[in-house]
Amino acid sequence: MSFDKKMIKQKILDVDIYLEKLGDKLPKTLDEFLDDLDAQLINQRIFEIITQTMLDICYHIIVKQKLKIPENYGDCIKSLSSLDILSPEETEKYRLIIGMRNIIVHQYGGIDLGLLYHGLGSIAEDFHKFASKIIKWISDT
């Protein structure tokens, strides 16, 4: 089944713009982050956009592979594991990232701002690893 490689690559490039903004907008320390509501809100939105892009790519692959549509976003990531795109360890890591996205989007209670801050500190590396796995897989498929 054919993948829209151009769309996937464009989505990845779009995220790079948000990651650049994250670098500009994320306070240097947790204390600064905790004291700055504007930084919290801006960075929550950046995190949401990045993780939504991951989900969009997941769903594109699921549809093109004619897999069962997942019941939730965590299962979407698991589908990539079933295709051997992600290892079980990577799958669990990305499921946790998507879980944080769900807390932000759906306001399931208080957001652990310390956890969010640390997640924001590693989201660029996490996303680039995810993107490289996706690009490699669609190139090999």
54, two tokens: 């991951």
Share of the chain above pLDDT 70, in %: 98
**pLDDT for the residue numbered 141:** 78
**pLDDT for the residue numbered 4:** 85
Give the pLDDT mean for 14-39. Answer: 93
Q: Is CATH 3.20.20.70 the classification given to domain 5-140?
A: no
Q: Are 52 and 40 in contact (CB under 8 A)?
A: no
Q: Using one digit for the tens of pLDDT, what is the confidence trace for 101-115?
A: 988 887 766 788 999
Give the pLDDT mean for 113-136. Answer: 94
Q: Using one digit for the tens of pLDDT, what is the confidence trace for 73-89?
A: 889 999 999 999 999 99
Q: What is the mean pLDDT of the chain?
A: 91
3-state secondary structure the chain: CCCCHHHHHHHHHHHHHHHHHHHHHCCCCHHHHHCCHHHHHHHHHHHHHHHHHHHHHHHHHHHHCCCCCCCCHHHHHHHHHHCCCCCHHHHHHHHHHHHHHHHHHHCCCCCCHHHHHHHHHHHHHHHHHHHHHHHHHHHHC
Give the pLDDT mean for 26-46. Answer: 94
How many whole angstroms separate alpha carbon 28 and alpha carbon 56? 30
How many whole angstroms separate alpha carbon 26 and alpha carbon 42? 9
